[in-house]
Every structure is written in C-alpha cells, then in structure tokens.
Structure 1
Amino acid sequence: MRRLDSAWQRPQTIICNEIYWTSTAKRCDIVLPVTSPLERNDIGGSPAESSVLAMKQVCPPVEEARSDYDIFSGIAERLGMRDRFTEGLDELGWLKRLYKETKDFLEDAGEKIPSFDEFWSAGELHHRVTSKSYLALKKFRDSPSSFRLSTPSGKIELFSHKISGFNYPNCPGQAVWLEPIEWLGSKKSKSFPLHLISNQPKDRLHSQLDFGPLSSSGKIKEREKISLHPDDAIERSLKQGDIVRVFNDRGALLAGVEISTAVRPRVVHMATGAWWDPSPGGAEESLCKHGNVNAITKDHGTSDLAQGPTALSCLVEVELYEGSSLDVTAHEPPEILRS
C-alpha cells in the first residue's frame, strides 16, 4: 500500500465512477456518481446458467447519478465522438443488440428463442445450453491427434524446453519446489515470527459491501479480525477482543484479536477486503486503522514469467496496540470541495 500511495500522488488528476465512497473514490479528485443495478436496465446471465434475466430498472437514479453508459457517452460527446462511441444506440438499443447475439447463439444450438420484446415482458429466458457439463481439454482427450494443444509438441508437457530456455532462476522448465520469499523457515522469521495467511472473506465478496451489516458483524471493535492460536496469544499476553498492531517491514495495520485453535501455532489468519483507512501522517509512519491486509503483504510476482500475485502469504509480528486512539473512518465520506 505504501507503493500504491506513492504512485497515487503522481497523476495531476484522478477520476473514477463509483456508487459508494470506497477507498479509491475518497482519494480521487473527481468522482462521477454512477447508478446501481436497481437504477438502470441491463441483462444478466452467464455461460454456466440456464437462464437469461431481464434486469429492469426499479427506481430512478438517485440525485445526479448516471449509468456508466450515459457517463461515457457524455464524455464522448464532449470529445466530439459520441456517435462513434454509441454507434447510434441508446441503452435499450445496446440491450437489444446483445440479446440478439445471445439469441443467435442459442438458436444455432437448436433452441427456440423469443423476440426481445417477449423476453423483456416475461423477465426471464430459460434454455438448455449451459457449460455445466464442461470438461477441460475435452476435444484433446477425445482425439489428441485431431485436436493438438498449443504446446510445441501438441501434448501436455511436464517439461518445457521453451520455458527452460528463458533461463529464469525462479521459473525452470519443470515443476520444482522453490524456497518462498517469506516463510517460517527463512531468516526473516527471526524478526517476524508469524506466518500470515489471508483469504477471500466469507461475509462479503472481496471488498464489496464492506460497510454492510453482514461484513460489519464479523469485525471486532469495527476492525478486521486476526485469528491467532492460543499459544501465540499467551506468548504475547493477548486476549480475545484486544486491538493489536500487525506489522512487518512494509507497513502496519490494526486488527481485533480472535483466539482460535483453527489456526496452527505461529500461523495467523486475516481476510482480505477491509477498506483501506490510513492513519494521519506520512506514508512511512501511517498504518491502516481498519485492517486492510494489503498494508503489510508483499508486492512481488510469482516469477519473472508469470508475474502472478503472491499477496496472500507473508511474515508478520503482532503486538498489543497501546498508541493513541484512532477512530475507524473507512466508511465515512470525504470533505467535498465542489459539487
């Protein structure tokens, strides 16, 4: 988060579309209020579902909120390219075009599909074409010679000459065990002796609706909770409900203690998704008052080739927080300079 905070200072102006005063929105110079799904028309569905839903607007937009499409159409008009962006279609026109693409696809698969007006009136379309029976590499498995893979050999490869040829020290051509950047067996564990594992939360989707009653009910004194094994809590003189400082050489955050035997000794657990709420002061001195775990996780790719995220595992230390009182302001709106 420190790197992100530093990068955020570089652009002259930052603009976003948002429904809520998220951490991102609060740090933008201009926020364009966007409608929720209840304030606009849309179509819902996915390849794994056997139905398509008419998501009809149920209430007018609140105050000056506009749909994403209206916002971008307006910007395009200011830039003198509205027709190029909209292709001459309004919201309903685009829904009809998207429905037609779905209709054509389903009819090619042998389905009998109603017109858009019939679908919109009924509110739902049921069909039998889904991906529930999807089988990975099915064509290749049925006929490897006819449906070769995109690998050099056309087969599943346990060793890749191509990847090996890149000579990446952290990504050889075959599966091997490589020492993690941070783990309990590393020298760094002498300074930060607890292994933090973070996962997707069970009471919200990523960070969505973090302010909602379900997400809030899982917090301790308004802060994200951290689960510690009883032995680690005793070693640090911590008890259930204490507010602790979780830290390493990248940053710090505050969290509420949950003592649990569901985690192993020397392992602690926190969910991701708490909205970032930095304390006053410079980036080097501040901590997240609310418990955003990314304040302490590492920003390092899985390898020189893949560059996947490794932010769900890192080393930390935990201590009782005895600093000045810090109110959680993660869900409070910012000061508005001009509207």
Structure 2
Amino acid sequence: MDDDPDPDGADVSIDARGDREVPGACPMDCPDTCSWVVTVRDGRAVRLEGDSDHPFTRGVLCNKLNDYVAYTQSPERLLYPMRRVGPKGAGDFERISWEAALDEIAERLQGVIREFGGPAIWPYVGSGSMGLLQGVYGAGRRLWNVVGASRHLMTICTIAGGVGTGYTLGDNRVGMDPETLRFSKLIILWGSNTLTTNHHLWRPITTARRNGAHLVVIDPTRTRTADAADSHLALIPGTDAALALGLLHVVLGEGAEDRDFIERHTLGWDAFRRRILEYPPARVAEICGLPVDAIVELGKRIARTRPTGIRVTMGLQRHGGGGMAVRTITCIPGVTGDWRYPGGGAGYDTRGFFGVNWAALYRDDLRRPDTRALSMTRLGEGLLEVTDPPVKALVVYASNPAASVPHQTKIRRGLARPDLFTVVVEHFRTDTVEYADIVLPATMQFEHADVQISYGHLYISWNEPAVAPPGECLPTTEIFRRLARRLGLDVSCLYDSDEEMARQLLDSDHPSLRGITFDALRKRGWMRLAVPEPFVPFADGFPTPSGKLEFYTTRMTQAGLDPLAGYTPPYEAAQRGTPLAARYPLALIAGADHYFVNSVFANVPAQTRRSGPTTIRVHPGDAMPRRLETGCEARVFNDRGAFVARVEVTPRVRPGVVASTKGRWPRLSTDGATVNATVDERDADMGGGAVFHDNRVEVERLSRSAG
C-alpha cells in the first residue's frame, strides 16, 4: 500500500487498484466504539472492516454492522428536504429545496419566539449518533443556547446509575478500566448481556478465564452470555441492590472486609455496616427470588477472591430504585478493597476519564442560567401537559422518540397536535418522521467528520469522511450553521467548521489528553488516553468531596434522598400480593436485541429477518394457565397500552417475568405498537432516569396464528 498522499491529514492508504482505505469509528450507542476502515472504490464505499491495529476492538465488528455499507446506500434513504402535505401521522410529503425548508423553519421558529419565547422550542436529540460533533453531545447545542430554547435532558439511558455512581465514587461516569478485567480472578457481569451489547469485552474476560477466573452472570433471564458463564443468578427484576447487600452480609460473616482500605479510603462505614447486617441471605433470598445457597456461594467467592471485577450496565438501573442499585453495587469493592487492584472494582462508564474541553464545544456560557429543562423520557408529558410556555416547536435529530421513548400512545397524541411545529432530521422514514412538518436529510458516518469517545474503553477516535453525501444530505452541524444564518444570529461560534470545533474540543490541559491533539488524532485515527497501563484509578482515593468512597454522603441528603447506600425497591417490577400485581401479574423487561442498536437497524430487512418477529419469552408455569404455546400470538397489555408479539415458552426466563427486546419500529410492527406502549414515563429515583424495566403487564392469547 502507498503512503497517505496528504501527510498532514488522515492516514488514508491507496492500493494498486486505486481503492482508498479510510479510517473511522462507529457512531452507535454502544460501549465498544469500534475503530473501522472503509474501502472506497470510484467514490463509493464497497467494504467495511474493523481496524486490526486497535488494541481493544482488534479488527472485529459486531453483527449489527453486517449490512452497514448497504444501509448507507439504501434506496429508502431520505435524500432531499420534504414538507408535509397531508394529516400528521399519514406520512404524505412533497420534496422542497433546502432554501425553502430553512426559510420555513426560521420563520416558524421566529414566530414561536416572538409569541411564546425561546423555551417554547424543544431541541430533542437522542443517541442515534454518539459523535461529539454530529450526534448526542455537540450538534446544535450552541445554536439552542443562543436561541434560548429549553434545555434537553438526556435522561433515557444511563443517568440514574450515573448519579448513583457519582454519589459513591465522586463522578457520574467513571469506574474500573474494562481492559483490566484480564487480571480479574472473579468476574461478575451484572445486568449485562455482554455477548450482545459489549462483545469486545469478551476478550479480556476470556484471558482472565484462561488464567482461572470464575465468571458469574446476574440477570433475570438466561441470555447467551449467561449460557457462556460458570454460574447464573436469575433474580427478580429491580432487586439488585438487595442482592448486593446480601452478598456483603456474607463477606462480613467471612471476616473478609478490607479494614485497611475501609479505614483509609471510605466514609460512613459504621452506618453502612449496620445496614448490611439488615440483609441476611434468607431475607435477600425472599426479596430477590433466589436460593439462599446461591447467595451464600457467590458471597463467599467475593470474600475469598482478589481481584473481583464487576461490570455493571444500564439495564439494571432502569427502574424506580435504579440509581441506588448502581450506587450500592459500586460499594462492594469498597468493602473488599478491590479498588486497589488491577482487575478489581466496578465498571459502569468510562466517559468521565475523557478530559475533552466540553465547555468549548457546548458554549453553555451563551445560555441564560434560568433556562427551562425538559426530560426526554417525558416527551408525552412535555407535549401535552407542559405550560408557561407550552412546547410549540420540536426539533428532533439523532432520535426516533415515537419508537424509543416511554408511553408510545401519549407521545403520538402529542406529536399529532395541529399547533405543534415539528422538524425531524433523519436518514429514513421513521415513525417520528411521519409526524413532521419539515423533514431534513442528514449524512451518515461515512459522509461526515466526527470525534468519538467511548463509555466502554479508554480510546478516543477520529472519523474521517470517506465518501460524498448522497443526494442533498447534509451533516447535522452544517444544517444548524445554515439555520443560524437564516435566523440572522450574529454569534461567530455558530459558524465554526467541524474541524474548528474538533480542535476546540481537544484543546484541553486535562492530563488524560496529554499528547492528544487534533492533528495527531486525525493522523493516527485513534489514541489511548494518557493514563497508566494498567489503569487503577482509585487505588489511592476518589474524586468525592471527602476524597474517599462514600458509603454515606450528605450530598444525597441535600437531594432529599437516603444518604446511605441501600436498597430502594422498584415501583412495579417486584410487587407481590398487591392490587397492581393481581391485575398485572407479570413483570415485563425488554433488553437489547442482538441485531439492532436501540431502534437503529430495525428497518433493515436482513437484520429483522435474523432477529425474527417481535417475541415475548414466557416461563412454562406462566404460559399454562394463559393457554400460551410457542408460536402463538399474544397481546401484552396494561393500563398504558398494548402490543402484539409471538410467544416463546421457555424456562430461560424466571417465573413471573416475561422478556422481550427493544428497538422495534411501531410502523413496521403488528398492530402498530411495540413494548414501549406499555412503559410509564415515570422517573427513576435519581437523575430522572427512565424506568423501562419497571413495568407490570398481563398477557392474553390471540385467536390468530403468528404464521
């Protein structure tokens, strides 16, 4: 291969046939943030492969990207701006020019601002791209700060557990370095279907197991990851914190607490010890629906095994006590002293280690300090119930809330409001697009520049554009630059180029970015943060106010919460013997699909064929009285809504639980609804997080066959 013809640019190679190999990174909402190489021939992407030089992803891409090249070239892509010409929800549009689209958007937004003020505009962004420029973090934020729009709170995914982590460790987005799991002797995958959602982590896990590590999965369902583990604890959804306390009760009974670490590096031990003693294994077994022996066995393993590494993921915190659950689990290595060892500790997120210049990217200094905030998980409420001012304009990008947000029926009512002006920036005709007044076509990752960080490793990546955008698609950043001009805004940073924003983002004196400049990153494609190897972040202290891991923290008192780590029951999932449990006796959880990333790829025929039809897995003991059989269709319902699914009767779910997967599009589903039709838009205990897995339902057989 020849050297890059532009030595100051990205490391683009050209082979003898003239094919270009362009480095980039996956933008999906996934902890692995794969480094990739796009092969371009005659201006067209023809192949996508993993970058074999990347130390974490090592040249392997997941099966969700099997059809990504074809996905970017799909005949169903949106290529031109469109204006609605029929009723909202009908999906009738006409093609218009960018000039007409932007003029209309600017005119409508200016009218909203004049009559109702900037907060009547809700910029609604999701995690369709995790890019720091084009996606969830950066795109448009400067513009909305200047306009005075409502602040958009990213509450849908990690926030409850992040706040819980912050109360214990001092930062919402930190934990053990996942790569150090290779040193672990006991690995607990807590609420993680790693082989589906984080499969590159399997390499360090495999290394550890070859060296004698024992692998435990804690999950209400028997996933493919549980199949590969040495042991599996199938607890009642939402009872994880009680299990953590029960395991620590066993640790204390074994006399295995690390008294030196506790004395030097923790706060509130005496009170926390008393709380642990309130949760003996017999009580925890009743709460969690587990055998006492299983709790004692795992507790003894934790007591006797150093280092123990715990991987905590987002699913277990999506309930009414989710923040406390993650807070309490991250206390376990504080009792055992595992935070002092490579391969020890608990890992929830790694984004807090990336010391990029967020202030320069966001420019929140341009925003009024009293600007109203709206939670993305309460979109239905925001569109139908919020006043002073009401939401009059909704601008959606990197998100398909009509499919992915709780209380689907309520959201549809809100989106159908005739007085709501809705703009959607998209790649495809999603359910949300069907309700738009103006639709704008956006570029995909092959077609624009971006910076990617990770919540599952310590590498930052540059995504070099590989091909020209199709049709009239524009990068989201460019869309907002053009809109700013139409709005007549005279604030220079609104017109910064993508490269200028990337340089500002990387202009940081944080130690983790030492040596990581824009030019170096673009040339290399990816760089590891400037942290030690192995990285043991909390061996000598924590970024809390006390400098210690805080079992007890007055910060929670100030927030109106119990200051001591403990167990907060879920709202619905663990109820037994209540009127709600009698009416809706089954707890519904919906984990990640093996072939989709949230709702991305759920419109790809090859991926949906691999995934199969919408399915609920039901325990035989729950199936029998409902006359449910594998292959039949059933209606899953509660007071909030209903959806139709194919039934699989299996002991791989525990009694009292039905399991499905998330990500389906309503418009491509039977009866036009999905699992989120049944989910409440209620807040978790911390951070306003979503409660997708805190949901009781009933299931009834339908007379028609699933086919």
The two structures have a TM-score, normalised by structure 1, of 0.72
Counterpart Cα distance in 2 of 1:23 and 1:131: 46
Find the counterpart in structure 2 of residue 211 from structure 1: 603
Q: Which residue pairs with 2:40 in the alignment?
A: none
Q: Which residue of 1 aligns with 2:441?
A: 33
Mapped partners of 1:292, 1:33: distance in 2: 26
> Could you tell me how far apart the structure 2 residues matched to 1:119 and 1:249 are?
51
Report the Cα offset of residue 313 of structure 1.
Answer: 2.5
5+ residue gaps, structure 2, are: 1-406
The question of 1:269 aligning with 2:662 is answered no
CA gap 1:175/1:105 in 2 versus in 1, 3 angstroms: closer
State the partner residue of 1:57.
466
Seen in structure 2, the aligned counterparts of structure 1 residues 129 and 290 have a Cα distance that, compared at 3 Å, is farther
Q: What per-residue deviation string (whole Å, max 9, x for no partner) do you get for residues 161-207 of structure 1?
A: 564476x5xx4333444553223403212111212122222222112
The secondary structure found in structure 1 opposite 2:698 is strand
Letter paired with 2:541: F
Query: Contact 1:45–1:53 at 8 Å: present in 2 too?
Result: no
- Closer, same or farther: CA 227–100 of 1 in aligned 2, 3 Å: closer
Question: 1:291–1:233: structure 2 CA closer, same or farther, 3 Å change rule?
Answer: farther
- The match for 1:294 is 676
Q: 1:264 to 1:112 in 2, by over 3 A?
A: closer
| Mean CA deviation greater in 245-254 or 183-192 | 183-192
3-state DSSP of counterpart to 1:140:
coil
Which residue identity lines up with residue 426 of structure 2 in the other structure?
E
Task: Quote the offset at 1:226 in angstroms.
Answer: 0.6
Greater mean alpha carbon deviation, residues 44-53 or residues 20-29: 44-53
Distance 1:30 1:138, change over 3 A: farther
Matched, 1:4 2:411: yes
Q: Name the counterpart of 1:191.
A: 583
Offset, 1:237: 1.8
The more displaced of 254-263 and 74-83 is 74-83
1:106 deviates by 8.4
Partner of 2:507: 101
Could you list the per-position Cα deviations for residues 288-332 of structure 1 after superposition, in whole angstroms to 9, with x for gaps in the alignment? Answer: 7355211102222223x6432222121111112247x99xxxxxx
Residue among 398, 401, 422 paired with 1:14: 422
Whether the 8 Å contact between 1:73 and 1:85 is mirrored in structure 2 is: no
1:131-152 deviation per Cα after TM superposition (whole angstroms, max 9, x unaligned) = 87444545525xxxxx7x22xx
Change (3 A) 1:157 1:83: closer
Name the amino acid aligned to 1:227: R
Whether the 8 Å contact between 1:17 and 1:32 is mirrored in structure 2 is yes
2:699 is paired with a residue of what secondary structure?
strand
Q: Specify the code of the residue in structure 1 equivalent to 2:594.
A: K
Q: Closer, same or farther in 2 for the Cα pair 1:53/1:181, shift >3 Å?
A: closer
Whole-Å Cα distance in 1 between the matches of residues 512 and 658 of structure 2?
Answer: 53
Counterparts of 2:579 and 2:558, CA distance in 1: 31
User: Are the counterparts in 2 of residues 195 and 268 from structure 1 also a CA contact under 8 Å?
Assistant: yes
Counterpart mapping for 1:137-176 below 5 A? 137-140=538-541, 149-150=544-545, 155-160=548-553, 163-164=556-557, 171-176=561-566
Where 2:432 maps in the other structure, the secondary structure is helix
SS at match of 1:313: coil
Q: Letter of the 1:23 partner, please give it.
A: D
SS of structure 1 residue aligned to 2:695: strand
CA distance in 2, matches of 1:176, 1:43: 38
Work out the CA distance in 2 between the residues paired with 1:297 and 1:57: 40
1:253 corresponds to which of 643, 649, 673? 643
Check 1:131–1:270 CA distance in 2 against 1; reply closer, same or farther (3 A cut): farther
**Structure 1 position 218, deviation (Å):** 1.5
2:627: which partner in 1? 237
1:92 deviates by: 4.5
> What is the CA–CA distance in structure 1 between the aligned matches of 2:585 and 2:658, rounded to whole Å?
10
Whose RCO is larger (CA < 8 A, sep 6+)? 2
Displacement after TM superposition at 1:44 (Å): 4.3
Of 78-87 and 231-240, more deviation after overlay is shown by 78-87
Corresponding residue number in structure 2 for 1:67:
475
Q: 1:240–1:258: 8 Å Cα contact kept in structure 2?
A: yes
Aligned-partner Cα distance in 2 for 1:301–1:72: 31
RMSD: 3.6
State the 1:52 CA deviation: 3.5
User: For 1:14-50, what per-residue CA distance to the aligned partner results, in whole angstroms no more than 9, with x for missing partners?
Assistant: 1121112222222222111111112223344559445
2:526 and 2:566 mapped to 1: Cα distance?
48
Q: Tell me, what secondary structure is at the counterpart of 2:477?
A: helix
1:161–1:128 CA distance, 2 compared to 1 (3 A): closer
Cα separation, 1, equivalents of 2:662 and 2:677: 11
Distance 1:25 1:135, change over 3 A: farther
Paired AA for residue 4 in structure 1:
I
Using the TM superposition, give the Cα deviation of residue 160 of structure 1 relative to its aligned residue in structure 2, in angstroms: 4.2
Tell me the alpha carbon deviations over residues 193-239 of structure 1, each in whole angstroms, 9 at most, x when there is no partner.
2121222222221121112223442222xxx1110112322222222
Q: Distance in 2 between matches of 1:127 and 1:20?
A: 34
Q: Is the 8 A contact 1:274 1:290 kept in 2?
A: no
Paired residues of 1:192 and 1:315 also in contact (CA < 8 A): yes
Residue 541 of structure 2 aligns to a residue in which SS? helix
Q: Which moved more, 1:40-49 or 1:8-17?
A: 40-49
Determine the C-alpha separation between the residues in 2 that align with 1:175 and 1:91. Answer: 43
> Separation in 2 of the partners of 1:306 and 1:107?
27
Please state whether the residue corresponding to 2:600 is helix, strand or coil. Answer: coil
TM-score by length of 2: 0.37
Counterpart CA distance in 1 for 2:536 and 2:434 is 44
| Closer, same or farther: CA 138–215 of 1 in aligned 2, 3 Å | farther
Is the CA contact 1:50–1:130 (under 8 Å) kept in the aligned structure 2? no
What residue is the counterpart of 1:307 in the other structure?
Answer: 688
1:241-277 deviation line (CA, Å, top 9, x unaligned): 2221100111100111122110122211011211233
CA distance in 1, matches of 2:499, 2:594: 36
Whether the aligned pair in 1 keeps the contact of 2:683 and 2:689 (CA below 8 Å) is yes
1:6 aligned counterpart, secondary structure: helix
Give the total of aligned pairs: 294
Q: Distance in 2 between matches of 1:270 and 1:198?
A: 5
